[in-house]
């Protein structure tokens, strides 16, 4: 089980310039912060600076409620986009799923084992197939059918449930419906999908079938944030497995399912531990 200490996490992106790291470190030092982790990245092409810094709150003499006021002058000086997170405040994750249960089962196992720093107040599905799995882990399950001419009504019901449970982010664990642009706008950069392909190859439906027809030697899985453009959002995590001419389509699907579970669980962990920063249509992952 992962032990989560009482720490604060500061995530920053801004134009790259001299004095950034010194200003941040000096501010934290002035308030008696014990920095545990500090990671940074400079994107030379775009001139962007990105940083994640985590510190122990035991001796920190600035209340987190006062952090915004105290840090704002530095943020304004350097043109920072930033946010503060408290590691012990667990994010609330909703899981959307259809009929395939392997990603859901893996997430629930890791959740019960304490590997994920989040809570799961609700599982939403357009099929009944995985209800037994939710019941096995004692997590509420909501069945909301999605009919061809009733998608807007289904999404309105889903959004009402998400608001009721104060959901912070959504995970699509092989949810076989395309979310509308209106739905996505309610959770920008807070919907994580698993695609059963190594994007940008074979986006859209039936990627294993197309990979098999193409005779690829590698198959993969990709976890990414959902945007209005299908399978085009910023990538969080990917992995691949080597295959050969001896593997048939069922072999690809079976081996791909193992990749999907691992890749999605990694992405959820990274997001829930505030290790992902987005810029342009890319991510920086501080792992």
- Catalytic positions are 231
Q: Are strands 141-143 and 282-285 parallel, antiparallel or unpaired?
A: unpaired
What would the two tokens of residue 232 be? 């085009």
Q: Give the integer Cα–Cα distance in Å for 169 and 52.
A: 20
Rounded CA gap, 112 and 263, in Å? 18
* For residue 68, cis peptide bond before it (omega within 30 degrees of 0): no
- Is 255 in contact with 219 (CB distance < 8 Å)? yes
81 CB-near residues (< 8 Å, 6+ apart): 12, 13, 14
Angle at 35 between CA 34 and CA 36, to 5 degrees: 110
Cβ–Cβ under 8 Å, residues 77 and 153 = no
Handedness of CA 20, 26, 27, 29 (dihedral sign): positive
Q: Among 270, 13, 193, 276, which Cα is nearest to 284's?
A: 276
Q: Calculate the alpha carbon distances from 126 to 95, 174, 190 in Å.
A: 12, 11, 20
Cα distances (angstroms) measured from residue 183 to each of 123, 127, 221: 17, 20, 24
> Rounded CA gap, 159 and 263, in Å?
26
């Amino acid at each position: 089980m992962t032990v989560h200490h009482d720490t604060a996490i500061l995530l920053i992106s801004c134009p790259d310039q001299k004095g950034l790291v010194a200003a941040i470190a000096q501010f934290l030092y002035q308030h008696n912060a014990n920095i545990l982790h500090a990671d940074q990245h400079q994107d030379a092409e775009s001139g962007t600076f990105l940083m994640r810094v985590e510190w122990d709150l035991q001796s920190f003499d600035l209340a987190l409620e006062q952090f915004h006021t105290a840090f704002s002058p530095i943020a304004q000086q350097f043109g920072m986009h930033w946010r503060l997170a408290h590691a012990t405040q667990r994010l609330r994750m909703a899981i959307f799923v259809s009929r395939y249960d392997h990603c859901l089962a893996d997430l629930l196992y890791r959740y019960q084992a304490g590997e994920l720093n989040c809570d799961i107040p609700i599982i939403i599905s357009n099929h009944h197939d995985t209800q037994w799995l939710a019941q096995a882990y004692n997590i509420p399950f909501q069945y909301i059918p999605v009919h061809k001419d009733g998608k807007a009504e289904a999404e309105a019901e889903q959004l009402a449930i998400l608001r009721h449970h104060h959901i912070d982010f959504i995970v699509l664990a092989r949810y076989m419906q395309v979310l509308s642009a209106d739905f996505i706008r309610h959770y920008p950069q807070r919907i994580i999908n698993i695609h059963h392909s190594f994007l940008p190859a074979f986006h859209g439906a039936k990627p294993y079938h197309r990979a098999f027809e193409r005779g690829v030697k590698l198959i993969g899985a990709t976890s990414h944030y959902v945007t209005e453009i299908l399978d085009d959002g910023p990538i969080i995590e990917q992995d691949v497995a080597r295959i050969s001419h001896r593997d048939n389509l069922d072999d690809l699907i079976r081996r791909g399912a193992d990749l999907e579970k691992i890749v999605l669980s990694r992405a959820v962990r990274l997001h829930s531990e505030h290790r992902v920063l987005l810029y342009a249509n890319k991510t920086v992952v501080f792992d």
